[in-house]
Amino acid sequence: MIIRLLVSISRRLNQLSGALAMLLIAYLLCHILLEIVLRLFGTSTYVLDEFVGYAIATITFLGLGYSLERNGLIKVNILSDRLPEKYHWILDSFISLVSFAMFFWVSYYWYINVARSFKRNVTSESIAETPLWIPEGMVLVGLTLLCLTLFVRILVLVSTRQVPHIESNK
């Protein structure tokens, strides 16, 4: 029961972050085009490379959980191709667990940094003086969501003893 709840929570959250990431791709496009036009008129937004950098970092990490649920992240299936189907869930649980540990651990260190940026109000040195905890925090959100997705995946694997079916696109 709890697992099913967690599954639907993680799916919802990933849909939300996926939608946000897609909006950011549209934003990337618009900001670059705006900059090109402004430049023709001798002015600029002055923050193009800075904001585009934040956006692309955010897109990458917000998209991770989303892509994982949709089987969009590639792996090398040398071992699993040789392993009987019925053991796949064990292998998958193991690699999910290892990945979860890796990113949970990295997220913890990144959290320390984001918290410091927030507390000390560290900003970028550009005209925008962007509070850095915002873009740094977005990457942290993406990492956290990835951890949640991996955690839920492990629960599903262990409880159903089979590899979850691939989500169709949307």
Partner 1 sequence: MEILLSAVGVITLILLVLGLGVWVFSGLAIVALLSLILIGDVSLDRSGAILSRIIFRSANSWELSAIPLFILMGELIFRSDISDRLFRGLEPWTKKIPGGILHTNVFGCALFAAVSGSSAATTATVGKITTTELKKRGYDRSLSVGSLAGAGSLGLLIPPSLVMIVYGIQSEVSISKLFMAGVLPGVLIAALYSGYIICRALLNPSLCPPEQSHAASKLESLVLLFPVISLIVIVMGAIYTGIATPSEAAAVGVFATLVILIKERQLSFKMIQEAMIATLLSSTMVCSILVSAALLSTAMGFLHLPSELASYIASLDLTPAFLLLALAIFYVILGLFLDGISITVMSLPITLPIVIQAGFDPIWFGVFLVILIELGQITPPVGFNLFVLQGLTGEKIGKVAKAAFPFFLLMCLAAFILCLVPEIALWLPNALSN
Partner 2 sequence: KFDFSNEYNATSIHAEGDKYFIDQVTKLSQGDIDITLHTGGSLGFKSTDNFYAVADNAIQIADTLAGSMAGIDPIFLLSSLPFIVENEDQAEQLYKIAKPYYQKVFAQNGQILLYASPWPASGIWSQKPVTTKEELANLKIRTYDKNGTLTLREAGAEPISLSWGDVVPQLSTGGIKAVLTSADAGASGKFWEHLDNYSAIQYAIPLNMVHMNKEAFDDLSSEEQSAILKAAALTDEHNWQTVRTRVVDNYKELAANNVTIHQNLSKTFISWLQESAKPSLKEWLEDTGKSGSDIMADFEKSK
Give the residues lining the site for partner 1 (CB under 8 A): 18, 21-22, 25-26, 28-29, 32-33, 35-36, 39-40, 48-49, 52-57, 59-61, 63-64, 66-68, 70, 72-81, 91-92, 94-95, 98-99, 102-103, 105-110, 113, 135-136, 139, 143, 169-170
Cα–Cα distance measured from residue 107 to residue 133, given in angstroms and rounded to the nearest whole number? 14
What's the closest the beta carbon of residue 42 comes to partner 2, in angstroms?
A: 4
Q: Which of partner 1, partner 2, none does 124 bind, CB closer than 5 to 8 A by kind?
A: partner 2
Backbone angles phi, psi at 80, to 5 degrees: -65, -25
Tokens representing residue 42 in the block: 């001798």
Q: Which of partner 2, partner 1, none does 98 bind, CB closer than 5 to 8 A by kind?
A: partner 1
What's the closest the beta carbon of residue 67 comes to partner 2, in angstroms?
A: 24
Q: C-alpha distances in angstroms, 16 versus 19, 63, 145?
A: 5, 10, 11
Residue 120 near partner 2 by CB under 8 A: yes
DSSP 163: P
Cα–Cα distance measured from residue 60 to residue 55, given in angstroms and rounded to the nearest whole number? 9
Q: Which of partner 1, partner 2, none does 125 bind, CB closer than 5 to 8 A by kind?
A: partner 2
Which residues inside 17-56 make contact with partner 2, applying CB under 8 A? 39, 42-44, 46-49
Cα–Cα distance measured from residue 36 to residue 31, given in angstroms and rounded to the nearest whole number? 9
Which residues inside 45-104 make contact with partner 2, applying CB under 8 A? 46-49
Cα–Cα distance measured from residue 50 to residue 124, given in angstroms and rounded to the nearest whole number? 9
**Cβ-Cβ contacts under 8 Å for 54 (sequence gap 6 or more):** 130, 134, 135, 138
The footprint of partner 2 (CB under 8 A) covers: 39, 42-44, 46-49, 113, 116, 120, 122-127, 129, 132
